[in-house]
Structure 1
Amino acid sequence: MIEDIEAGKINCVVTKDLSRLGRNYIMTGQYTELYFPSHNVRYIAIDDGVDSEKGESEIAPFKNIINEWVARDTSRKVKSAFKTKFAEGAHYGAYAPLGYKKHPDIKGKLLIDDETKWIVEKIFSLAYQGYGSAKITKQLRAEKVPTASWLNFTRYGTFAHIFEGKPESKRYEWTIAHVKAILKSEVYIGNSVHNMQSTVSFKSKKKVRKPESEWFRVENTHEPIIDKEVFYRVQEQIKSRRRQTKEKATPIFAGLVKCADCGWSMRFATNKANKTPYSYYSCSFYGQFGKGYCSMHYIRYDVLYQAVLERLQYWAKAVQQDEEKALN
C-alpha cells in the first residue's frame, strides 16, 4: 500500500476503526497526522468517526493510546494463558513432532507413531555412531528417507505448494537444520519443553531465544522414543564438535557472516584438495538447496579477514586523530 501511495495510485485509505490502521499510537499518529496529509491521502476510520477531509478528530490520539493499551493487555493475557498450558506439559503445535502422532481423544497428548518413529531412531543411531549433522543429512537424502513435511502432505494435504508438481527428490530434501532440530529436541526422551523463544514485544514479531532458565520443561509427559543415555551422549558430541581450521583455530567470524541476498549464515569450510589448503565462506542456503534458491557467494577466509582488519585499522586511526568526528 505504501508503494502505491508513493506512486500516486491511492488517494484514500479506509479502515473499520483506528486500531485496524495500527496499535502503536506513535506510528499510527505519524501516518494520520503527517504521512497521509503530506501525500494528499484522505483517511477514514468508519466506527471511530474519523475523516481527515472533514478535519482532525480531537479524540483520535487518545483512541490510539487506548488501542495500544488494549493490545499490550491482550498480549499479556495470552502469554499468561500459554504459560499455564506449558506448565501442564501438553503439546499444542499444529503437527505432532516426527515420530509421534496426536492422541485422538486427549488434547495435547502425544502417542508414538509406529510408521515414522524409525526415522528418528535412525537419525539418533547415526549421531551416536559419531556422524555429524551434515553427514546424516546426506545419508538420509541418499537413502530417500521421507521428510516430516512430506509425511504431513501425504496425510493431511498440507504443504501442497511445496510438493505438487515438484520432482520426487523434493520428498527427501532433508537439511542440516532439520537434523539438528531433531537431535536437540527433548521431546524424544519424553519431555515437553516450551517458552524457548518469545517476541521482542507485543509491537514486534521478531523472535529471540530465551535463556534456558526461563524455559518450561515438564518431564515424562509422553512415551520416549530415544533412551536418555543415547540422547545425552549425542548432546555431548554436538557440544564438543567444533569447526576448526587445519591449525586447530576456531574461525573468528563464526555466526557473524550472513548472505546479503537470503540472510542465511555463511558456511565455513576448508578446501583440502588444493596443494595449499585454504578456508572460505559460502552461502549455507545455497549449499543445502542449490542454485534455484540462492547463489554460492563464495569468499576466501583470508580475503575477508584482511578486509575486516583494514577497516578496523582505518577506524582505529580515525578515532585516534579525532574521536568526536569519527564517532559522529
Structure 2
Amino acid sequence: MPKISRIESIVPAIKPLKKVAAYARVSMQSERMMHSLSAQISYYSKIIQKNPDWEYAGVYADDFISGTNTVKRDEFKQMLSDCEAGKIDIILTKSISRFARNTVDLLETVRHLKSLGIEVRFEKENINSMSGDGELMLSILASFAQEESRSISENIRWATKNRFEQGIPNGKFRIFGYRWDEDQLVVEPEEAEIVKRIFQNFLDGKSRLETEKEFAAEGITTANGCRWVDSNIKVVLTNITYTGNLLLQKEFIEDPITKRRKKNRGELPQYFVENTHEPIIDMETFQYVQDEIARRKELGALANKSLNTCCFTGKIKCPHCGVSYMHNRRNDRGYMEYWNCGSKKKKKVGDGCPVGGTINHQNMVKVCMEVLGLTEFDEDAFLEQVDVIYVPKRYVLEFHMADGRVITKDCPNTGHKDCWTAEYRAKASAKRKKNGTKCIGASGFTGKIKCKNCGCNFRKATQPSATAKDGKAYYWRCAEHSNGCKTAGLREDVLKPLFADALGMAEFDDTLFRKKVDFVWVLSETELEMHLMDGTVQTLNYEPPARKCLPRTEEQKEHMRKVMKSIWTPERKAEMSERMKQMRKERGENWRKEK
C-alpha cells in the first residue's frame, strides 16, 4: 500500500509593526523657531508613516523649553509615560541636544528606555541606543551638548553684563506701580497710590502685618488680583526702582544647568543707573525707610507693636537653633501660657530643636523672682539685671546676668497639671459622657449609645465569633462592664440594620445617624430607646444572634478525653468526694437549694 503524507497549509507569519514615535523641541520663542518646530513635526510624521514596517505612535513636541532638565517638559514626560505603558517601541529625534542637554538626564533616560526594550535613534549623530557602543558615544556627545549649553549661557551672561554696563535692563521686568511704554517705565496712577500708602504706613510706625490686614479689610489686591501679604509689602519697601533709579543685576543664575536663581549679595558687580524714569518715592524717604527696616530688624519682635510682646520677648534663646523662644497661649484645656523654640514655627531644616518641650510662663516668672531675689516680679529689674536666658536642655534655664554671672535653674513644665482643675475635670468628664472621645477608630455609635443603668457610654470591643463572616464580632459594651455593670453588650452587625430600618435608610450611614440621633438608651438585653434630634423617641427591639458553637473534630474530642483522664486521677476523685460530704454535712438537708 502506498504511503500517504498530509501536507499542512502554511499560513504566512505577519511581522508585527514597530510602534514608532518622534520627539522634537525648540528652546527659544521666535517665528523662525516656530517654523523649525513645525518642520520637525511634519518631517518625522512623514518618515514614520511611509515606512511599511512602522506604526505611527505620534510626535511629541516641547516648545520654548530648555533641554537642561526635564521638569517643565510636559510632552517629554508624557512620551516616557507612554513608553512605560507599552505604546512605543522606537523613538526618533533630530539630535542629542534636542533630546537633552544634561548628560545625567540623557543617560538615565536612555538606560531606562533600554531596560524597557525601547530604542532611541539620534539622526544627526547616527547613534542607536541599543547598539554596543551607543551608550559610550552618547556619554561623549552629551557632554559636548551640555558644555555647548553652558557656553551659550556664558555668552548670554556676557551680553547681559554689557547691557548692564550701558544702563540697559535685561528685558521688560514687571513692577507694581509702573507699566512699560515701549522702552520706558511709565507710572500707573492707581497702583502708585497703593505704593505711596505702603511707604506712608511704614513711616507712621505701622508694621507690615498691620498694612496686610488693612488692605485685606479694604479689598485692595496686587496686580494679579491676589491678597497683599508680608513678603509682597517687603519687596515694595526695599525696591529702589520706586525712586526713579534702576539697580541692575540684583539676581543671577548660579548654574546654567540647574537654572537656580540666586540673590546677588556681592558675588557679582551691580550697576546703579540714575534718573531712568519718573519716581513714585523720593530718595530721602526711601533711605529713611531702609534705616528704619534695619533698626526694627535689630530690635526683633519688640519693634513690631502689632505683636503682644513682654519683657521676656527676645530674651529667651535656644543655644542649639540660634533663635528666640516664642510666646504662646491656649484656652482649650483651661488658660495656659508657655514658650517654645522659634524653630518650630519657622520650620527649620533638620530634625527640629534638640531641646524640645516648652517652658511654663508662670513657673519661669517664679524662677526669675528667685534668681533676682524678689518677692514680687519686677519687669524693670529683670530687664536691667538679665542679659539673656539660654535653654541648654529641657526644663533647664541658664541666666546670663549683666554683671557676668551665670546662674542655672530647673524650671519644670507643670502647665497641664495646673490647668487641670477640679472644675475643668468635671466639665471635660461631662463632655466625654455626652459626646464620647474622638479616638482612633471612632464611629457613628461613639458617644451615642448609653447605659440606662449607670449612665456611661458604650465602648467598642472585639471578640471571636462563630457567626461573623471573618470570625470576629464587634460588640458595644458599657464602659463600666469590667467594674460590675450587668447591662448586656450589643452586636454591631445587628445594630446597624436595626437603626437603618428605624431611620428609613436603605443601608446604614454613619454621618446620617449622627445627624438624626441624639443618643440611644440601652434599657435591657432586648430593649433600646432611641432619642432623635427632633425630640421624638422610638423604642426598638434588639434580638441578639443565637449562640453557635463550632463543631469539634474527632481529633479534638480524643484530645479532650485524654486531658480529662490525666486530670481526673483517683486521688483527685477521693479529694472531691470528701469535699462534697463536708458540704452536705454543713448545709443539712436543704444543701441543694442554697446558692
| Aligned twin of 2:337 | 276
Instruction: Among all aligned residue pairs of Structure 1 and Structure 2, give the percentage whose two residues are the same amino acid.
Output: 24
Verify the 8 A CA contact 2:321 2:353 in the aligned structure 1. no
Alignment of 1:1-328 (within 5 A): 1=77, 11-32=89-110, 34-57=111-134, 59-104=137-182, 107=183, 109-150=184-225, 171=226, 173-212=227-266, 214-242=269-297, 243-244=300-301, 246-249=312-315, 270-271=327-328, 275-279=336-340, 304=353, 306-307=355-356
Verify the 8 A CA contact 1:96 1:110 in the aligned structure 2. no
| Aligned twin of 1:323 | none
Q: Structure 1's 121 and 251: CA in aligned 2 closer, same or farther, altered over 3 A?
A: farther
Which one-letter code corresponds to 1:200 in the other structure?
Answer: E
Residue 255 of structure 1, CA deviation: 10
Verify the 8 A CA contact 2:114 2:130 in the aligned structure 1. no
Verify the 8 A CA contact 2:247 2:273 in the aligned structure 1. yes
Residue 283 of structure 1, CA deviation: 6.5
Which one-letter code corresponds to 2:203 in the other structure?
Answer: Y
Verify the 8 A CA contact 1:269 1:281 in the aligned structure 2. no
Residue 277 of structure 1, CA deviation: 4.4
How many residue pairs end up in the alignment? 261
Q: Structure 1's 305 and 198: CA in aligned 2 closer, same or farther, altered over 3 A?
A: same
Verify the 8 A CA contact 1:193 1:218 in the aligned structure 2. yes
Verify the 8 A CA contact 2:101 2:146 in the aligned structure 1. yes
Verify the 8 A CA contact 2:344 2:353 in the aligned structure 1. no
Which one-letter code corresponds to 1:184 in the other structure?
Answer: T
Per-residue CA deviations over 1:54-111 (Å, capped at 9, x if unaligned) read 553464443223212211110011111112222333445555411112124xx2x212
Verify the 8 A CA contact 1:191 1:222 in the aligned structure 2. yes
Which one-letter code corresponds to 2:289 in the other structure?
Answer: V
Q: Structure 1's 134 and 87: CA in aligned 2 closer, same or farther, altered over 3 A?
A: farther
Verify the 8 A CA contact 1:89 1:193 in the aligned structure 2. no
| Aligned twin of 2:584 | none
Separation (CA, whole Å) in 1 of partners of 2:115 and 2:87: 15
Unaligned runs of 5+ in 2: 1-76, 302-308, 358-391, 394-595
Separation (CA, whole Å) in 1 of partners of 2:270 and 2:318: 30
Separation (CA, whole Å) in 2 of partners of 1:115 and 1:218: 26
Which one-letter code corresponds to 1:178 in the other structure?
Answer: N
Bigger shift: residues 51-60 or 183-192: 51-60
Separation (CA, whole Å) in 2 of partners of 1:113 and 1:92: 21
Residue 304 of structure 1, CA deviation: 3.8
Separation (CA, whole Å) in 2 of partners of 1:12 and 1:226: 61
| Aligned twin of 2:521 | none
Q: Structure 1's 254 and 207: CA in aligned 2 closer, same or farther, altered over 3 A?
A: farther
**Pair member with larger Rg:** 2
Residue 42 of structure 1, CA deviation: 1.7
Bigger shift: residues 55-64 or 95-104: 55-64
Verify the 8 A CA contact 1:147 1:174 in the aligned structure 2. yes
Q: Structure 1's 252 and 174: CA in aligned 2 closer, same or farther, altered over 3 A?
A: farther
SS in 1 for 2:293: helix
Separation (CA, whole Å) in 2 of partners of 1:255 and 1:241: 22
Residue 209 of structure 1, CA deviation: 1.7
Unaligned runs of 5+ in 1: 151-170, 258-267, 285-296, 311-328
| Aligned twin of 1:155 | none
Greater strand proportion? 2
Verify the 8 A CA contact 1:16 1:46 in the aligned structure 2. yes
Which one-letter code corresponds to 1:221 in the other structure?
Answer: T
Q: Structure 1's 9 and 305: CA in aligned 2 closer, same or farther, altered over 3 A?
A: farther
Verify the 8 A CA contact 2:177 2:191 in the aligned structure 1. yes
Q: TM-score if structure 1 supplies the norm length? A: 0.66
Which one-letter code corresponds to 1:44 in the other structure?
Answer: R
Separation (CA, whole Å) in 2 of partners of 1:95 and 1:281: 35
SS in 2 for 1:148: coil
Separation (CA, whole Å) in 2 of partners of 1:13 and 1:270: 61
Verify the 8 A CA contact 1:123 1:136 in the aligned structure 2. yes
Q: Structure 1's 253 and 198: CA in aligned 2 closer, same or farther, altered over 3 A?
A: farther
Q: Structure 1's 277 and 29: CA in aligned 2 closer, same or farther, altered over 3 A?
A: closer
Bigger shift: residues 134-143 or 55-64: 55-64
Greater helix proportion? 1
Which one-letter code corresponds to 2:242 in the other structure?
Answer: Y
Separation (CA, whole Å) in 2 of partners of 1:282 and 1:180: 23
SS in 1 for 2:146: helix
Residue 182 of structure 1, CA deviation: 0.5
Which structure's relative contact order is higher, taking Cα pairs within 8 Å and 6+ residues apart? 1
Residue 231 of structure 1, CA deviation: 1.0
Q: Structure 1's 5 and 241: CA in aligned 2 closer, same or farther, altered over 3 A?
A: farther
Separation (CA, whole Å) in 2 of partners of 1:121 and 1:55: 68
Separation (CA, whole Å) in 2 of partners of 1:126 and 1:54: 69
SS in 2 for 1:201: coil
